[in-house]
């Protein structure tokens, strides 16, 4: 421990004060900082030290601005083509302000931007690339801690996976939801209403003029989707895990409170460095169980299943589909948010946000575990309230009695599949019907409206070769379109099965993440048009009604598709990607093992 005079000298760690006014001691001294290995005690400490200091002068910084202070990396996923993150350039300035004010030295690093809206075939293909970039940047530069700026679907898990693997103190700043959409008298939810009105366009209920108006009103500010889609689900998960400032996940992107939160995160990371609060102390088994319970009680995106399993793996925690199904039976759905409910994220924020929401789950949460901002989750929730019982339902009046995602097993998905059953029409949750099989999404798009296929509302639509390797990257194809002629008859939901994912803003009786996927020879590859398939969500089963002897004959006749890539990142992806039930991480990143610190001399 260092002595700390009333007016600290530059580079001397300052004690922080808890909510009770008790000083928190620093665990590190300036010479203990990781960055000290680059900068040393004096300009003559060594050639490399001299070089590092000289190049920092080249950047325009005085010695007293950075020597002996925590160096904080601000990893910014801002981009001109990522509308969810287009405001993060300004938020990085707020983070820097907080870092400076707390006695740290901020450095901004541009990292990959994974834009759900524009990147093809899917940003899921590149989640692990951003996780690798995050880990290696933090490891290879003279930084002591990090502030992670993200929020669009894949950026949250990627940044947290990389930070967990790097092991440096880190705090996450969510991009925040966009403002509610508007069209005429309608309040719109991005994604959710896009699917709804696109179907109305297909049936002729609205025309190109209305579609043009919707185009201008659907997404009207920076920020990620303002429904409880994948982005809001995962930023909420980051908050309950303890990796954000309290209440951060629901603050609208353009609200001034969002900038204040970013500055507070910048100040907090400096204290986390001095106190050596690393992700390993926050991202525990208990934290991940609380994240699962929260996601399920929010009625959150099915995509969270894959991402939380991958994130937990990077934290040395084994999380499985069975954990999701077990916890789902212990929590009700309390968030009345689209696509499964009525409200949007701004309503949720002003109803109490995640802190208020969690006060209604305290009996299932581990309240004595630490968070980035407080010694315990219990302390973090102190004083939190719910202000609107319609948006955040009380336990005695839930939207659904069980969590919003069900895990299915059966001969069609021996390693599991998932369904967001609260967003499906109830009569389809027990259903047997003949399959109509599509071997790829392009064929489905081209032929789905052809009456010659004879598809009825009782059929089960099956899409294969859309999984982790087959997609590639598990694109969000899982909300298979309903034939136009059935839409015109009023059909709005059908049982649909695939090894793909679907947008968290989507809805319908869509069975997703079938594992193992068809591209590697999973049972989905053996389904033929006309085979009966039985879905039974209450029993948690998905079954292909074909006898085992016939399936063995089909299996013997199956041939593996040709590999898609011969070189580049795609070849690495193809070689290393794991299946949906284990998180779709790269095998060489998911496994435990020692990684040496770089020699800075």
Burial zone of 574 (CB within 10 Å; 0-12 exposed, 13-18 middle, 19+ buried): middle
Q: What confidence tier does 43 reach under pLDDT thresholds 50, 70, 90?
A: confident
pLDDT at res. 6: 33
Mean pLDDT of all residues in 314-325: 98
Q: How high is the pLDDT of residue 15?
A: 56
The span from the CA of 505 to the CA of 117, in Å, is 13
In the DSSP assignment, the letter for residue 388 is: -
What confidence tens digit (pLDDT) does each residue in 354-368 have? 999 999 999 999 999
Residue 505's pLDDT band (cuts 50, 70, 90): confident
Predicted confidence (pLDDT) at residue 17 exceeds the cutoff of 60: no
> Residue 443: is its pLDDT beyond 60?
yes
Instruction: Estimate to the nearest angstrom the gap between the alpha carbon of 504 and the chain centroid.
Output: 10
- Where helices occur in 68-142 by DSSP H, the ranges are 88-101, 127-140
Q: What is the 3-state secondary structure (H, E, C) of 397-435?
A: CCCECCCCCEEEECCCCCCCEEECHHHCCHHHCEEEEEE
Between the alpha carbon of residue 221 and those of residues 177, 190, 200, 217, 224, the distances in Å are: 9, 11, 25, 10, 9
Whether the bond between 121 and the residue before it is cis, its omega within 30 degrees of 0, is: yes
DSSP 8-state symbol, 459: S
Q: What pLDDT score was predicted for residue 10?
A: 42
pLDDT in tens, 546-598: 999 999 999 999 999 988 899 999 999 999 999 999 999 999 999 999 999 99
Give the Cα separation of 108 and 89 in Å (integer): 10
User: Cα separation of 108 and 85, whole Å?
Assistant: 15
The DSSP element (H or E) to which 148 belongs, if any, is strand 145-150
Tens-digit pLDDT profile for residues 174-227: 999 999 999 999 999 998 899 899 999 999 999 999 999 999 999 999 999 999
pLDDT per residue over 411-422, tens digit each? 999 999 999 999
Q: Does residue 9 have a pLDDT over 90?
A: no
Position 7 pLDDT exceeds 60: no
Q: What is the three-state SS of 5-61?
A: CCCCCCCCCCCEECCCCCEECCCCCHHHCCCHHHHCCCCCCCHHHHHHHHHHHHCCC
| DSSP state for residue 205 in the 8-state scheme | S
CB-CB contact of 207 with 201 (8 Å): yes
Residue 2 scores a pLDDT above 90 = no
Q: Tell me: the pLDDT tens digits for 75-94?
A: 999 999 999 999 999 999 99
Mean pLDDT within 388-416 = 97
* Residue 23 CA neighbour count, 13 Å, CB half: 8
Q: What is the pLDDT of residue 3?
A: 34
Asked if 247 contacts 354 with a C-beta cutoff of 8 angstroms, the reply is yes
How much is the mean pLDDT over the chain?
95
**pLDDT-based confidence at residue 24 (cuts at 50, 70, 90):** low
Element (H, E) at 322: helix 321-328
Per-residue pLDDT averaged across 316-323, rounded? 98
**For residue 18, is pLDDT > 50?**
no
On the question of pLDDT at 398 being above 90, the answer is yes
What does residue 497 show for φ and ψ, rounded to 5 degrees? -130, 135
């Amino acid at each position: 421990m260092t002595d700390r005079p009333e007016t600290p000298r530059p580079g001397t760690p300052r004690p922080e004060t808890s909510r009770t006014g008790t000083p928190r001691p620093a665990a590190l001294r300036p010479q203990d900082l990781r960055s000290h290995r680059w900068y040393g005690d004096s300009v003559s400490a060594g050639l490399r030290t001299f070089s590092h200091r000289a190049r920092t002068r080249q950047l325009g910084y005085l010695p007293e601005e950075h020597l002996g202070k925590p160096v904080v990396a601000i990893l910014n996923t801002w981009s001109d083509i990522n509308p969810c993150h287009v405001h993060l350039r300004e938020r990085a300035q707020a983070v820097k302000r907080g870092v400076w004010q707390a006695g740290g030295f901020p450095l901004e690093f541009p990292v990959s931007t994974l834009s759900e809206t524009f990147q093809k075939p899917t940003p899921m293909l590149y989640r692990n690339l951003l996780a690798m970039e995050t880990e290696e940047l933090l490891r290879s530069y003279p930084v002591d801690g990090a502030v992670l700026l993200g929020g669009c679907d894949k950026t949250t898990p990627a940044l947290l996976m990389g930070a967990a693997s790097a092991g440096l103190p880190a705090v996450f700043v969510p991009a925040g939801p966009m403002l509610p959409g508007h069209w005429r008298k309608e309040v719109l939810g991005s994604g959710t209403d896009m699917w709804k009105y696109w179907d109305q366009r297909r049936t002729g209920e609205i025309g190109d003029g209305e579609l043009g108006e919707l185009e201008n009103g659907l997404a009207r500010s920076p920020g990620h989707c303002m429904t409880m889609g994948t982005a809001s689900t995962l930023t909420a998960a980051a908050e309950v895990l303890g990796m954000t400032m309290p209440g951060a996940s629901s603050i609208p992107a353009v609200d001034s409170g969002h900038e204040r939160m970013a500055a507070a995160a910048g100040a907090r990371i400096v204290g986390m460095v001095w106190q050596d609060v690393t992700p390993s102390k926050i991202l525990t088994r208990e934290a991940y169980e609380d994240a699962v319970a929260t996601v399920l009680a929010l009625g959150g995106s099915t995509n969270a299943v894959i991402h939380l399993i991958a994130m937990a793996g990077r934290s040395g925690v084994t999380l499985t589909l069975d954990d999701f199904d077990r916890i789902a039976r212990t929590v009700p759905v309390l968030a009345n948010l689209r696509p499964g409910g009525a409200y949007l994220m701004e309503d949720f924020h002003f109803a109490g946000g995640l802190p208020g929401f969690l006060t209604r789950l305290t009996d299932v949460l581990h309240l004595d575990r630490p968070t980035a901002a407080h010694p315990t989750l219990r302390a973090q929730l102190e004083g939190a309230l719910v202000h609107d019982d319609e948006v955040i339902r009380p336990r005695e009046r839930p939207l659904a009695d069980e969590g919003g995602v069900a895990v299915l097993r059966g001969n069609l998905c021996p390693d599991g599949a998932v369904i967001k059953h609260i967003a499906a029409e109830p009569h389809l949750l027990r259903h047997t019907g003949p399959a109509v099989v599509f071997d790829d999404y392009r064929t489905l798009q081209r032929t789905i409206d052809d009456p010659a296929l004879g598809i009825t509302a009782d059929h089960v639509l099956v899409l294969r070769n859309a999984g982790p390797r087959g997609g590639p990257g598990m694109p969000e194809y899982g909300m298979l379109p309903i034939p136009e002629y059935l839409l015109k008859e009023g059909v709005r939901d059908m049982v649909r099965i695939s090894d793909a994912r679907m947008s968290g803003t989507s809805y319908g009786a869509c069975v997703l993440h079938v594992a193992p996927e068809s591209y590697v020879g999973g049972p989905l590859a053996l389904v033929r048009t006309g085979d009966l398939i039985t879905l039974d969500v209450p029993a948690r089963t998905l079954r292909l009604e074909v006898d085992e002897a016939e399936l063995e004959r089909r299996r013997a006749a199956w041939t593996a598709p040709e590999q898609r890539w011969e070189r580049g990142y795609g070849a690495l992806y193809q070689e290393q990607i794991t299946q949906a039930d284990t998180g779709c991480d790269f095998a060489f990143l998911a496994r435990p093992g020692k990684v040496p610190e770089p020699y800075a001399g």
